[in-house]
Amino acid sequence: MKKILITLLQDEVAPRFDLATDVLVARTDDAGRVLSKKTLVLPAPSGEQMCQLVLSEGADVVVCGGIENEFWQYLKWKGVSVVDSVMGPWERALELSAAGSLSEGMILYPGRETD
């Protein structure tokens, strides 16, 4: 079982980790099924607050767009796997992440899906 946190901008993975206010937190099982999901909203965009949220939620994986190296290093240091530079609908990102097949820099737009 793992916990996946995706930064959101409307229906897509947010282009910036530090500027996103909405996040999706999902629990998945080993078979890649989504067991539960919830949306959280930060009062204001902040990279530090987002890192705190990742840790307080106990996320194993963070899926985001661009992320500053300092936050990326910090989360890696805390044992969180960060899959960054992901572009496209968050639902597809969640599906692939749950299946363990999402990788850095993937483009997930329909008809444009590339790794």
Bridge partners, 61 (sequence order):
4, 81
- The structure tokens listed for 32 are 């890649």
Q: Is 24 in the site for other proteins (CB under 8 A)?
A: no
Which of 33, 100, 109, 113 is in the footprint of other proteins by CB under 8 A?
109
- The structure tokens listed for 113 are 């899906």
CB atoms near residue 48 (< 10 Å): 11
Q: Is 16 in the site for other proteins (CB under 8 A)?
A: yes
The CB-of-64 to other proteins minimum distance in angstroms stands at 10
Closest CA to 4 of 107, 29, 70: 29
Instruction: Sketch the per residue contact string, 47 through 86, with other proteins: x for CB under 8 A, - otherwise.
Output: ------------------xxxxxx-xxx--x------xx-
94 class by beta-carbon count within 10 Å (0-12 exposed, 13-18 middle, 19+ buried):
buried
Binding site for other proteins (CB under 8 A): 9, 12, 14-16, 19-20, 45, 65-70, 72-74, 77, 84-85, 87, 105, 107, 109, 112, 114-115
